[in-house]
């Protein structure tokens, strides 16, 4: 009986020791090139491979020192200038005007009243969905009467974010 116990104890210790040695010897840090190669083998596709435009950095340091050889406009240069102007217009990012809505929930207001007012103000897209979700989550009676600020710069907010805000 003792020899069987010793056998399994030795076997277990041997397996643990062997696994530790195997784990320690198999760990080698990978270089960036190896990581990229492995990623390509596994199917990773880089944005430049599928044609997504990359950000181009243009410097004008050397542009002033080069004298133009031909100063007369040609049809090709005219088209190029037109393309350059279109690219500059497209590159101008117009920030949307920030639109913040202040809303105060009065004491005693029902969930239906709050939902309709929020929909009228553009905070949510569907008042019925808000009421339905408040009922489903059993939060219709937990709407807090206080003032709120909603940022609707990019359109109506997510219904669940509004529920989270008004029931805190």
pLDDT of residue 34: 87
Measure the CA angle with vertex 112, ends 108 and 114; round to 5°: 65
Given this model, what pLDDT does residue 42 score?
Answer: 86
The SS3 call for residue 41 is helix
pTM: 0.45
118 vs 104: CA distance, rounded Å: 10
Note the pLDDT of residue 92.
62
d(CA 104, CA 145): 7
Give the three-state DSSP class for 125. Answer: coil
> How far apart are the C-alpha atoms of 158 and 123, rounded to whole Å?
9
Statement: 100-166 belongs to CATH 1.10.3720.10: no
Residue 53: the pLDDT is 57
Where exactly are the structural domains of the chain? Answer: 100-166
pLDDT at 63: 53
The pLDDT of residue 54 is 54
Q: Looking at residue 36, what is its pLDDT?
A: 86
pLDDT for the residue 94: 63
C-alpha 96/C-alpha 112 separation (Å) is: 31
How high is the pLDDT of residue 28? Answer: 75
How far apart are the C-alpha atoms of 105 and 97, rounded to whole Å?
26
The whole-number pLDDT of residue 126 equals 92
Series of mean pLDDT values for 10-residue runs along the chain (168 residues):
86 95 80 86 76 59 54 55 68 71 91 93 92 90 90 87 90
């Amino acid at each position: 009986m003792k020899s069987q116990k010793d056998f399994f104890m030795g076997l277990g210790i041997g397996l643990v020791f062997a696994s530790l040695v195997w784990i320690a010897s198999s760990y080698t840090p990978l270089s960036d090139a190896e990581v990229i190669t492995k990623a390509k083998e596994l199917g990773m596709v880089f944005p430049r491979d599928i044609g997504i435009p990359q950000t181009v950095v243009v410097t004008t340091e050397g542009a002033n020192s080069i004298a133009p050889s031909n100063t007369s406009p040609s049809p090709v240069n005219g088209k190029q200038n037109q393309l350059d102007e279109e690219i500059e217009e497209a590159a101008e990012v117009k920030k949307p005007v920030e639109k913040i809505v202040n809303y105060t929930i009065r004491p005693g207001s029902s969930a239906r009243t709050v939902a309709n007012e929020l929909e009228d103000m553009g905070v949510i897209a569907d008042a019925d969905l808000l009421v339905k979700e408040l009922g489903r989550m059993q939060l219709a009676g937990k709407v807090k009467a206080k003032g709120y600020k909603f940022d609707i710069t990019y359109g109506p907010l997510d219904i669940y974010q509004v529920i989270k805000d008004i029931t805190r």
